[in-house]
Amino acid sequence: MKEIVTRFAPSPSGYLHVGGARTALFNWLYARHNKGKFILRIEDTDKKRSTEKSINAIIEALKWLEIDYDEGPYFQSERFSLYEEYIEKLIDSGQAYYCNCSRERLDNIRQEAMKSGSKPKYDGKCRNLGLKRGENSVIRFASPLDGVTILEDAVKKNIVFQNSELDDFIIARSDKTPTYNFVVVADDITMGINAIIRGDDHVNNTPKQILLYNALGAKLPVFAHVPMVLGKDKARLSKRHGAMSVTAYRDMGYLPGAMINYLVRLGWSYGDQEFFTRDDLIEKFALKNVGRSAGVFDTDKLLALNAEHIKKMGTKRLFYYLNPFLKNKGIETEHSDFMDGVIKTLNKRSKTLTDFAEGAEFYFAKDISFEDKKAKKLLNSDAKNLFLTAIPEFEKADDFSEAGLEKVFLKIMEITGLKFGKIASSVRAALTGKSISPGIFEMIAVLGKEKTVQRLKAAVKFIEAL
């Protein structure tokens, strides 16, 4: 079997959005599943819309998603000599021709067609005139006048196009710049691309591209056109649905593994399974499981899936992703047993890495601030008496495991006559400055004896100052 070669070919006119990221992912997974090759190509022939900033944003997003490419990035703007060579082949073989029809004449043809209710298309006036290049000449492809072109699609199955409905479309403009449908075919042929997975908004371009493959004597790739991604209201995905830059989700604290897990489920399935690791997806991805219905982008489902990935990720790997968010909070730390403990108390409670970093802040605070109104309300004279009783019990405790701490709390309950909930809520407020935290025993076990005693003493001083 010939090596599978896929590609992702974005136009650098903006950020990498959800739909584009899914296209890249499907091609990458298909290549990786088949132990093939994945190529990145930047389609930057439109100089007015293409920007260096967009190119960098696309590459940055792919890097965050950990979608690596085997070749590239290639830039179409650097391949014009290749396109000229292929255009000359078509002209020499009589399958392309120069056309010098004026804009006014083409507008008249279009208007007449619209009046008669027929499809606007070029009438072939220059097709057999044997014209040479003129100052305002374009180059047109000589499309077949009859018969059919069949798109054998791996997702949509066979789609038949009547050749009589196709135009003698332009493959090079009057300024000599080649057009989209031509350059993608020239690129895909020379790069050995034999599998093309893309959005179904490209279906109508495909018959033209098939004709170009045939004219150039090249074998057709596998085509797979996947349904569009829609918002929850079934309208085309836009910013109001959450169609932001992929890197915006990174900055909000989503894991790349959760993002690709969610993106792949927008149009692909494997039984009833929802949760996939990267390795799972590489092992199981196949075009036969791509559906024909549009995927619906739901930020609530993405958030829930992200929480699941945080919960199931190993502490060392999770620290790698969490660390930048800790640094944003001014927390400089390294992976350690202490950090593992912090992570284990919060990984089942955090939906994003932003939540996680906020939840972890109190562990690293030099001094606890009592700005949380509910927590501050708990710090009163009764709490002071409780802490003065509790401090000696914590100081003399030899076992600061969760089981050992349970015994300490039982002793404090015995001395004070207070119920566990009352003691735990006041101690939590003193140790964290919050009314909500991880479980009291696991949290104190991570903080350790020194910090626990120090913070209880600081809370006593805070109450006295009030």
SS3 197: strand
- Alpha-carbon distance 129 to 181, whole Å? 24
The torsion angle over the Cα atoms of residues 285, 287, 290 and 294, rounded to 10 degrees, is 120
Q: Distances in Å between the alpha carbon of 357 and those of 29, 112, 299?
A: 31, 65, 21
Helices 353-364 and 337-346 pack at an angle, to 10 degrees, of 130
Tokens of 373: 């109104």
Q: Are strands 157-162 and 148-153 parallel, antiparallel or unpaired?
A: antiparallel
Catalytic residues: 239
Residue type, 426: S
Q: Residue 237: phi, psi to the nearest 5?
A: -60, 130
- Alpha-carbon distance 353 to 164, whole Å? 56
Q: Distances in Å between the alpha carbon of 49 and those of 19, 43, 46?
A: 19, 11, 6
Reported as type and span, the H/E element at residue 151 is strand 148-153
Number of H helices, E strands in the chain: 18, 12
Strand partners, 398: none
- Alpha-carbon distance 394 to 451, whole Å? 11
- Alpha-carbon distance 195 to 208, whole Å? 17
Q: Residue 191: phi, psi to the nearest 5?
A: -90, -5
Strand partners, 158: 152
Q: Which residue has the tokens 């199981």?
A: 284
Closest CA to 18 of 247, 287, 269, 333: 247
Alpha-helical (H) ranges within 7-79 are: 18-33, 52-65
SS3 377: helix
- Alpha-carbon distance 109 to 197, whole Å? 35
- Alpha-carbon distance 186 to 181, whole Å? 9
